[in-house]
Amino acid sequence: MQKENGIQFGGGSELTRSLSRGFTLIEIIVATSLFTVVMLVTVGALLSLNDASRKAQSLRTVIDNLNFAVEDMNRKIRTGDSYHCYTESALSDLALGAALVGEDCSGDPAGVAISLRTQEKDPQSGSHIWAVYIFKKDPITDQGSIVQRISNPGGGTSLASEEVITSPEVNIRRMEFRVIGAEDPNKQAMVILNISGVVDLKKDKLRTDFSLQTAISKRGMDWTN
């Protein structure tokens, strides 16, 4: 001990000596373990959120593709005319191209294809372009899809193009057309469309069913030229 100006100073308290000796190895190991556990839980949660976001984005992209295909078909039907509905047994008639007259299929069996004259015209000939929408299923893979055929201007002739308008991730299980009023030019024709199927994202191991129904009324009466 030392004395200075009548005041006695000691060599330090027990608390001071305890603080000066630092952490033990056990304390460091426990602290490091707790930090590691917290970081693993946090990183795992972030990875799960990122994976869920990626899957949701992939699903949204596929659904948007289906919505675009149906909306484009909806628009052409609404603004077109001369609807001709084909049941499965009458699909062979499509080999000749689009029909020139309207035909209903309001009962059973429902139609699996429809042809129509669109408002779009060929810029060279000025003739209306004909569109055909068909439900097709691959007999080997059982993959269903919507096929769009665009006929040469004038209709009823050879087909100019054919393409699948749904993405490979969309498996159409059922597509039905019911056409009412197409045979009477004095009536406003209507098309009822039913589509159901499944979106299968094999890479993300994600499947979801979907079903939609829409009623499409022709805009105005039949137009010519």
- Asked if 106 and 83 touch (Cβ cutoff 8 Å), the reply is no
- So what's the pLDDT on residue 59? 78
At 84, the pLDDT band (50, 70, 90 cuts) reads: confident
At 156, the pLDDT band (50, 70, 90 cuts) reads: very low
Q: Where are the domains of the chain?
A: 48-217
At 153, the pLDDT band (50, 70, 90 cuts) reads: low
The answer to whether the bond into 109 is cis (omega within 30° of 0) is yes
Three-class DSSP category at 130: strand
Share of the chain above pLDDT 90, in %: 9
Name, in order, each residue with C-beta under 8 angstroms of 175's C-beta and a sequence gap of 6 or more: 112, 135, 144, 146, 193, 194, 195
What single DSSP character describes residue 218? -
Question: pLDDT per residue over 96-116, tens digit each?
Answer: 555 566 777 877 888 899 888
Residue 179 tokens read as: 């056409």
The CA-CA-CA angle for residues 157, 162, 165, to 5°, reads: 140
